């Protein structure tokens, strides 16, 4: 699985190092009172020197539940949208602790390494379950955990349609969020509402775009007009500003729904002087700080549901009604929810 798993010293190696039998090492570990003090000391010295650790199976036998949940902490990205996962982590730690569980963090460069870490962690740290974030298509992590019979839940749905009924997951309905943003802007009097999203290829982005499109459906705009009212740029403040310039030049919108607060912030730098309303997504601290309306994810509820789904798998905390939980976000209205200019 990983190099550290295969090179880990065995009981055999410890026995040879200490010049005792395997049974003596086993006794030193499991029934030290039956081992002579001098021998015990020698075995322990070998254990320390070699860095030997009893297998998780043996530890599980003794302790059954470790009451520890593993979570991969993703690297800090642009720092604006990353705040969502940090807030989820706070909520998850709270929820877990209320039920007597802890959260253990690890890092990994990619999914493959994350899977390798599962093996290491189960072997050395005796975890009960994992929480996965940032799900995507062809996500081999869930398959690996399912195959190995390890309880887990994902924050984020499996995006491939055939997997939707599969493993337990919690997610937030982005589509209903952008749809609510459009409805809010329509209430303010806007008709030409643009969507500032990401390039094709992101399921999360397609979901948020779909909510905008649904909201715009009965606006009497042609398919061609709707196409011009939509732009896809990589996430970021600068790219958000560029995308907005393009929208303003091509489609003359009076309002913009953005797929993220980063994009929305970029939009704001351009839109403010054009009196264009802007709604972001994720209600990050930046949104609150600059007065940006934004779609907020119910992260406390999501973390609570994730822990419920895990405890149900661990045979604790009673059955849960659903194995898949899709929560609705809500709109936070702030200063950038301006009406369109008077005609």
Shortest Å distance, C-beta 89 to a copy of itself: 7
Q: Which CB atom, from 130 or from 159, has the smaller least distance to a copy of itself?
A: 130
Q: What is d(CA 211, CA 332) in angstroms, rounded to the nearest whole number? A: 17
Task: Please state the length of the chain.
Answer: 343
Shortest Å distance, C-beta 175 to a copy of itself: 26
Q: Which CB atom, from 77 or from 227, has the smaller least distance to a copy of itself?
A: 77
Pairing label, strands 293-296, 330-332: antiparallel
List, in sequence order, every beta strand (DSSP E) within the chain: 68-72, 102-106, 129-133, 152-155, 169-172, 193-197, 230-232, 255-258, 277-281, 293-296, 324-327, 330-332
Contacts of 126 (CB under 8 A, 6+ apart): 56, 59, 60, 63, 66, 68
Composition of the chain by helix, strand, coil, percent to 5? 50, 15, 35
**CB-based contact 198:183 (threshold 8 Å):** no
Q: Which CB atom, from 82 or from 166, has the smaller least distance to a copy of itself?
A: 82
Q: What is d(CA 292, CA 337) in angstroms, rounded to the nearest whole number? A: 8
Residue with tokens 């290829």: 201
Q: What is d(CA 45, CA 54) in angstroms, rounded to the nearest whole number? A: 15
Shortest Å distance, C-beta 234 to a copy of itself: 16
Shortest Å distance, C-beta 45 to a copy of itself: 11
**CB-based contact 96:103 (threshold 8 Å):** yes
Shortest Å distance, C-beta 154 to a copy of itself: 19
Shortest Å distance, C-beta 44 to a copy of itself: 7
Q: Which CB atom, from 60 or from 214, has the smaller least distance to a copy of itself?
A: 60
Shortest Å distance, C-beta 241 to a copy of itself: 11
Q: Which CB atom, from 176 or from 297, has the smaller least distance to a copy of itself?
A: 297
Residues that bind a copy of itself (CB under 8 A): 4, 27, 29-32, 44, 47-48, 53-54, 59, 61-64, 66-68, 73, 75-76, 78-80, 82-83, 86-87, 89-90, 93-94, 97, 100, 102-107, 121, 124-125, 237, 262, 265, 284-286, 288-290
Q: Which CB atom, from 33 or from 343, has the smaller least distance to a copy of itself?
A: 33
Q: Which CB atom, from 113 or from 274, has the smaller least distance to a copy of itself?
A: 113
Chain centroid to Cα 39, Å, comes to 49
- Strand (E) or helix (H) holding 224: helix 223-228
Q: Which CB atom, from 48 or from 218, has the smaller least distance to a copy of itself?
A: 48
- Alpha-carbon radius of gyration of the chain: 26
Q: Which residues pair with 102 in a beta bridge?
A: 68
**CB-based contact 205:233 (threshold 8 Å):** no
Shortest Å distance, C-beta 301 to a copy of itself: 15
Q: Which CB atom, from 88 or from 159, has the smaller least distance to a copy of itself?
A: 88
Give CA angle at 144 (69, 140), nearest 5°: 105
Shortest Å distance, C-beta 209 to a copy of itself: 23
List, in sequence order, every beta strand (DSSP E) within 162-281: 169-172, 193-197, 230-232, 255-258, 277-281
């Amino acid at each position: 699985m990983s190099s550290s798993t295969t090179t880990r010293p065995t009981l055999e190696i410890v026995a040879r190092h200490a010049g005792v039998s395997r049974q003596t090492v086993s006794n030193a570990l499991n029934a030290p009172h039956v081992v002579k003090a001098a021998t015990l000391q020698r075995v322990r010295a070998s254990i320390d020197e070699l860095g030997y650790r009893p297998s998780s199976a043996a530890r599980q036998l003794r302790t059954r539940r470790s009451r520890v949940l593993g979570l991969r902490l993703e690297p800090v990205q642009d720092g604006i949208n990353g705040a969502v996962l940090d807030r989820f982590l706070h909520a998850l730690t709270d929820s877990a602790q209320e039920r007597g569980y802890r959260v253990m963090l690890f890092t990994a460069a990619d999914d493959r390494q994350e899977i390798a870490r599962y093996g290491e962690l189960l072997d050395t740290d005796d975890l009960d379950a994992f929480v996965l974030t940032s799900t995507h298509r062809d996500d081999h992590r869930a398959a690996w955990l399912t195959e190995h019979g390890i309880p887990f839940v994902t924050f984020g749905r499996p995006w491939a349609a055939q997997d939707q009924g599969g493993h337990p997951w919690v997610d937030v309905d982005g589509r209903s969020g952008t749809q609510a943003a459009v409805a809010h802007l329509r209430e303010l009097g806007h008709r030409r509402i643009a969507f500032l999203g990401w390039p094709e290829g992101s399921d999360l982005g397609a979901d948020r775009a779909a909510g905008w499109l649904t909201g715009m459906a009965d606006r009497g705009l042609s398919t061609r007009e709707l196409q011009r009212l939509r732009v896809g740029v990589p996430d970021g403040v600068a790219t958000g500003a560029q995308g907005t310039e393009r929208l303003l030049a091509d489609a003359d919108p009076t309002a913009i729904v953005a797929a993220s607060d980063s994009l929305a912030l970029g939009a704001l730098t351009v839109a403010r002087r054009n009196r264009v309303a802007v709604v972001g997504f994720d209600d990050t601290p930046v949104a609150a700080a600059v007065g940006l309306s934004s779609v907020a994810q119910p992260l406390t509820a999501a973390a609570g549901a994730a822990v419920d789904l895990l405890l149900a798998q661990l045979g604790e905390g009673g059955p849960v009604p659903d194995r898949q939980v899709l929560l609705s976000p809500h709109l936070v209205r702030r200063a950038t929810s301006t009406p369109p200019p008077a005609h």
